[in-house]
Amino acid sequence: MRSPTIVTTHIRVQNVAAAVIALVALSACEPPEPVNEGGRFGVAFGAAGSTVENAVATSCSTTSVKGLSEQIVDMMNCLNPGSMAEVPEVSGLDFGAAVFPFMQSPAKEALLDAVAAKPASVLGINSMFRTVAQQYLLYRWYQAGTCGIGLAAKPGNSNHESGLAFDTSDTDVWKTTLQANGFKWLGASDPVHFDYVGAGIVDLDGQGVLAFQTLWNQKNPNDLIDEDGLYGPQTGARMAASPAAGFAGGVVCPGSEPVPDVVEVPDVPVVPDVPVVPDVPVVPDVPVVPDGSAKPDTAAADASKPDVPDTAMSDTTVFVPDVTEPNVEPDTTVWPTEDVTSDDVWTDDLAGPVADDVTSEATSDITEESDVWTLPGADVVGGLPTYGIATTGRDAVCVAGRGGTNGSAMVLMVLALIGLFRRRRA
């Protein structure tokens, strides 16, 4: 157990240290990085899977967000290829426990040149590059008054986020050499701070914030934020919720995201265009049923019987004897040969054939045997002698020219007989 004097002395030492930190905070833009135990890159604090907000409450070192910070640097190099480079450990260069050893490439080369120019000396680095995540921790500790941080710039506004700055406690030994290699001393207001102002630098103002915003959107497609490089409430809220050890899956540079697997389809031969034919309705076959009521077309000329006038078109009616009557014998009747006038003309009449200027016979009616025509006496119709002709025997039931049955056939036969009679008389 310590004596009261020793305890008192210990407290006084702690008070002196706090006073020194307070004086530095008042005289500088930012205090140096808090020093904690650990080797290069420091020791990560906080439970596995914790968020940046958890790191604020459970640690006092920026190494607690080392994994996320490395991903932010990788994304900065995606957006600005080759802009950031890791500063290697070389003889004459000593990194503090919590230093994050990254600088812009030309600044890194200038620092190594300066160290090589003083091989007998060692340049101790207390703080170097800070990502927006590390600056977030410092700013939150400053707001809470914890971890001995008396002053810290808001994330996105620190010189240490540019990749050009570093702090050293060996200012008096190294100031001249550093200035000769392109570094600017910030002066009495911040005696530990140097910025590289030589050739080849890139303006990375806001690029650290933009890198985080891009990384967040890549890992959280359902909770996108503006990618504008400006630190505001929405960026701060996502920073607090981010995993301190970094996002799963690493960093994928924008534009190089893996393309989903595509199923290859074999080439299909190109078929020439074929004119599209409209669909034609299919009409089912309908069986043809004979129409029992159909009658032959008597008006059409029979092509198989040439030279037969069309009765529908001719002015002269041609009577064709009915040759279908069986047992018809040629007419061998001997008719009287009395003279008749030579201008006998037959006309059609509703009452039957009419003889013009035919002199009545004084003889009695001519009769024939069975199946022989009988010529009765003449009647006078319309002032003209008219004959009513009938048959005996098989055709006794038919009367020609007076409306009897089978009139058409009988008319033809009567005309034939009368014609024969007239020729015999002539």
Boundary residue ending a domain (241, 264, 281): 241
Please write the tens of the pLDDT for every residue from 158-212.
889 999 999 999 999 999 999 999 999 999 989 999 999 999 998 999 999 999 9
Dihedral sign, Cα of residue 209, residue 215, residue 217, residue 222: negative
Structural domain includes residue 412: yes
C-alpha to C-alpha distance for 119 and 343, rounded to whole angstroms: 165
Sheet holding 399-400, edge to edge: 373-374, 389-391, 399-400
Residue 230 clears pLDDT 70, i.e. is over it: yes
The residue that leads in pLDDT, 238 or 271, is 238
3-class DSSP assignment, residue 299: coil
What share of residues in the chain are helix, strand, coil (percent, to 5)? 30, 10, 60
CB hemisphere CA count around 138 (13 angstroms): 28
C-alpha to C-alpha distance for 85 and 70, rounded to whole angstroms: 11
Residues of 348-383 as b/e, b for ≥16 C-beta within 10 angstroms? eeeebbbbeebeeeeeeeeeeeeeebebeebeeeee
pTM given for the model: 0.53
Residues 42 and 191 in one domain: yes
Structural domain includes residue 66: yes
Dihedral sign, Cα of residue 397, residue 403, residue 407, residue 411: positive
Structural domain includes residue 278: no
C-alpha to C-alpha distance for 128 and 194, rounded to whole angstroms: 10
Dihedral sign, Cα of residue 189, residue 193, residue 196, residue 201: negative
Structural domain includes residue 280: no
Residue 254 clears pLDDT 50, i.e. is over it: yes
Residues 213 and 97 in one domain: yes
What CATH code is carried by the domain that includes residue 181?
A: 3.30.1380
Highest mean pLDDT among 1-5, 263-267, 309-313: 263-267
Boundary residue ending a domain (241, 274, 298): 241
Q: Which residues contact 30 (CB under 8 A, 6 or more apart)?
A: 138, 151, 152, 153, 158, 159, 160, 190, 193
- The one-letter amino acid code at 348 reads D
Structural domain includes residue 183: yes
C-alpha to C-alpha distance for 76 and 202, rounded to whole angstroms: 12
How many structural domains does the chain have?
2
Burial (CB count <10 Å: 0-12, 13-18, 19+), residue 12: exposed
Q: What is the pLDDT of residue 37?
A: 35
Burial (CB count <10 Å: 0-12, 13-18, 19+), residue 335: middle
| Residues spanned by the domain of 188 | 32-241
Structural domain includes residue 63: yes
Structural domain includes residue 156: yes
Q: What is the pLDDT of residue 133?
A: 95
C-alpha to C-alpha distance for 426 and 282, rounded to whole angstroms: 73
Residues 211 and 351 in one domain: no
Structural domain includes residue 398: yes
Bridge pairing between strands 123-125 and 93-95: parallel
Rounded (10°) CA dihedral 242, 243, 248, 250:
70
Residue 21 clears pLDDT 50, i.e. is over it: no
C-alpha to C-alpha distance for 84 and 102, rounded to whole angstroms: 7
Please write the tens of the pLDDT for every residue from 99-126.
999 999 999 999 999 999 999 999 999 9
Residues of 297-329 as b/e, b for ≥16 C-beta within 10 angstroms? eeeeeeeeeeeeeeeeeeeeeeeeeeeeeeeee
Residue 425 clears pLDDT 80, i.e. is over it: no
Boundary residue ending a domain (220, 241, 262): 241
Please write the tens of the pLDDT for every residue from 118-152.
999 999 999 999 999 999 999 999 999 999 998 89
Residues 105 and 219 in one domain: yes
